[in-house]
């Protein structure tokens, strides 16, 4: 009797996090960037590629900067974060696993993201608060809780957005307190230019991408498909009716 043995998959990292994020259209502007610069932040530029089709309720799958595959599982919300009576956001618990990925084996051969995957370019400014103080994150120090705070400029499907996010990690019982302490410190000075951070703009990338960036990308994909069909017909190839908007490419009306 022969039995199949599943391959052993190494895990780079695994952790529980408590997060809140706001996503807004446009760019943050100099005033917001200056407000965030009260804390010394590291700056990182990268491109993450998210799996958005098929939809995976409760899961977020992305290729992080072409070097690691990250899978996040939603574990529910412990409620609403409210600071100074004007900033409100939905708290979300996530479990995250990170797996090695060989950058020499791209998702597609032509360098573009394959169907169902959407690239998101990010310029990230990030600092860490632990116990209400700035701290450098040192791997391997156990379950000490800390909260990363990031201001990110996002470009997806030709559109500009920006996000402000808090992510607390460490011992489960300390996460909410650490995140609330960090948020109270950051929002002790109001976000400038009348920026309102409310629950309508509070969501994860996993929630936001399928409804915003991906919808625009599907329209672009359909336009390219229609153009290809017309070009094929002009060259004398057999013509097929183009699919109506909203129908999957490849299915005639």
| Listed range (38-42, 85-89, 150-154) with the worst mean pLDDT | 85-89
pLDDT exceeds cutoff 50 at 252: no
**What does each C-alpha distance from 184 to 55, 86, 166, 192 come to in angstroms?**
35, 12, 12, 16
Residue 94, pLDDT above cutoff 90: yes
| 42-51 vs 13-25, strand pairing mode | unpaired
Give the other-Cβ count within 10 Å of 166's Cβ: 24
Alpha-carbon span 54 to 210, nearest angstrom:
10
Q: State the average pLDDT over residues 157-181.
A: 95
Contact 138, 129 (CB under 8 A): no
Helix, strand, coil shares of the chain as percentages rounded to 5?
Answer: 20, 35, 40
The whole-chain average pLDDT of the chain stands at: 81
pLDDT at 87: 95
pLDDT value at residue 14: 84
Of the pLDDT bands very low, low, confident and very high (cuts 50, 70, 90), residue 243 is very low
Give yes or no for a contact between 32 and 121, defined as CB atoms under 8 angstroms apart.
no
Asked if residue 186 has a cis previous peptide bond (ω within 30° of 0), the answer is no
| CB burial of residue 87 (10 Å; 0-12, 13-18, 19+) | buried
Q: Are the beta carbons of 17 and 168 closer than 8 angstroms?
A: yes
Q: What is the pLDDT of residues 96-114, one digit of tens each?
A: 999 988 776 666 655 666 7
Burial class (CB in 10 A: 0-12, 13-18, 19+), 13: exposed
Enumerate the CATH 3.20.100 domain ranges in the chain, comma separated: 13-204
Q: How confident is the model at residue 20 (pLDDT cuts 50, 70, 90)?
A: very high
pLDDT of the residue at 198: 97
Fold of the domain built from segment(s) 13-204: mRNA Triphosphatase Cet1; Chain A (3.20.100)
Q: d(Cα 131, Cα 235) in Å, to the nearest integer?
A: 67
Q: How confident is the model at residue 136 (pLDDT cuts 50, 70, 90)?
A: very low
Inform me whether the pLDDT recorded for 33 exceeds 80.
yes
**Nearest-angstrom CA–CA distance, 157 and 121:** 10
**pLDDT score at 170:** 93
Q: Is the pLDDT of residue 171 over 70?
A: yes
What's the token pair of residue 197? 């951070």
3-state SS assignment for residue 159: strand
The pLDDT of residue 85 = 78
Instruction: Output Rg (C-alpha) for the chain, integer angstroms.
Output: 21
pLDDT digits (tens, 9 = 90+) for 56-84: 999 999 999 988 999 999 999 999 999 98
């Amino acid at each position: 009797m022969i039995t199949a043995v599943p391959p052993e998959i190494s895990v780079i990292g695994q952790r529980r996090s408590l997060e809140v994020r706001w996503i807004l259209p446009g760019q943050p502007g100099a005033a917001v960037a200056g407000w965030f610069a009260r804390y010394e932040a590291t700056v990182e530029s990268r491109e993450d590629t998210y799996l958005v089709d098929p939809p995976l309720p409760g899961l977020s799958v992305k290729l992080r900067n072409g070097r690691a595959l990250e899978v996040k599982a939603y574990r529910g919300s412990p409620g609403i974060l409210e600071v100074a009576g004007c900033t409100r956001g939905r708290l979300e618990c996530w479990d995250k696993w990170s797996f090695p990925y060989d950058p020499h084996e791209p998702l597609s051969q032509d360098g573009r993201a394959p169907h169902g995957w959407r690239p998101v370019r990010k310029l990230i400014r990030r600092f860490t608060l632990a116990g209400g103080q700035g701290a450098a994150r040192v791997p391997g120090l156990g379950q000490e809780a800390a909260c990363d705070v990031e201001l990110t400029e996002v470009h997806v499907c030709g559109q500009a957005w920006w996000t402000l996010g808090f992510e607390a990690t460490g011992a489960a019982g300390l996460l909410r307190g650490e995140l609330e302490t960090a948020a109270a410190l950051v929002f002790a000075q109001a976000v400038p230019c009348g920026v309102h951070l409310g629950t309508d703009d509070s969501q994860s990338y996993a929630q936001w991408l399928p409804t915003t960036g991906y919808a625009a990308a599907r329209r672009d994909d359909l336009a390219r498909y229609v153009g290809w069909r017309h070009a094929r017909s002009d060259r004398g190839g057999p013509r097929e009716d183009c699919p109506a908007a909203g129908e999957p490419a490849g299915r005639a009306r």
